[in-house]
Amino acid sequence: MIAIQPHYLIQEMASEDISAVLEIDQVSFSNPWPERSYRYELAENPAAQLFVAKLDDGALIAYLGYWLIGDEVHISTFAVHPEFRRQGIGENLLKNALADAAKRGAQVATLEVRASNEAAIKLYGKLGFKVGGSLEGYYHDNDEEAILMSLNGGLAQFSETSQ
Ligand SMILES: CC(C)(COP(=O)(O)OP(=O)(O)OC[C@H]1O[C@@H](n2cnc3c(N)ncnc32)[C@H](O)[C@@H]1OP(=O)(O)O)[C@@H](O)C(=O)NCCC(=O)NCCS
């Protein structure tokens, strides 16, 4: 069998994308963001940038948000539709976001991730993020520990590899 990579484009998220983003959010997280959070991020939060990946037919298959505060970019939300995982889309979207943040002055990237989220921790590690600490009971729905990861410098390197 030949695996065919889906063709998709990464673009800035718009308010019409919110319903498709919420669908992926709800199947990806035990504590998904409510619609009002996406509306706030898009319309009112000057620190927020949000991106989506869309197939040629317009179907939304992944999204990522970050906050840029000073020279630090913090990944706020990030998921790939379950049917499109393990095809490099998450990695590409994350690289694209880091390159975008670097252009806006980011030098450091930070995030928190559930201790049980092996897929995400491996992805961040692949891009050079290192574990910097942890927070016991950070996730209130199941009292799970958060792993804090960061990438110090070199964010501009992703400009050449992202779409
Ligand atoms: C984490 C997530 C965004 C990864 O997206 P993806 O498109 O499937 O990831 P990619 O195909 O780009 O994988 C890139 C790398 O990540 C790692 N990885 C991704 N999924 C993995 C898995 N299930 N198991 C182990 N490693 C995995 C691998 O290192 C992989 O590189 P490789 O293909 O060379 O082995 C996706 O699993 C997801 O949406 N999960 C639910 C939401 C979530 O956890 N978001 C992150 C919150 S912090």
Q: Give, using CA atoms, the residue closest to atom 18 of ligand 1.
A: 119
pLDDT in tens, 77-128: 999 999 999 999 999 999 999 999 999 999 999 999 999 999 999 999 999 9
Q: Report if pTM > 0.85.
A: yes
Which numbered atom of ligand 1 lies nearest the CA of 75?
A: 48
Q: Which run of H or of E encompasses 65?
A: strand 60-69
pLDDT band, residue 159 (cuts 50/70/90): confident
Q: Which run of H or of E encompasses 121?
A: helix 118-126
Q: State which of 29, 91, 114, 158 you would mutate to test the pocket of ligand 1, scoring each by most atoms of that ligand within 8 A of its C-beta.
A: 91
Q: For strand 144-152 and strand 130-139, is the pairing parallel, antiparallel, or unpaired?
A: antiparallel
Which numbered atom of ligand 1 lies nearest the CA of 77?
A: 47
Q: Give, using CA atoms, the residue closest to atom 21 of ligand 1.
A: 119
End-to-end CA distance of the chain: 26
Tally of CB atoms within 10 A around 7: 7
Exposure letters 76-97 (e unless 16+ CB within 10 A, then b): bbbbbbeebeebebbbbbbbbb
Cα(158)–Cα(82) distance, integer angstroms: 25
Domains observed in the chain = 8-159 (3.40.630.30)
The CA radius of gyration of the chain, in Å to the nearest whole number, is 15
123 lines ligand 1 (CB under 6 A): yes
61 lines ligand 1 (CB under 6 A): no
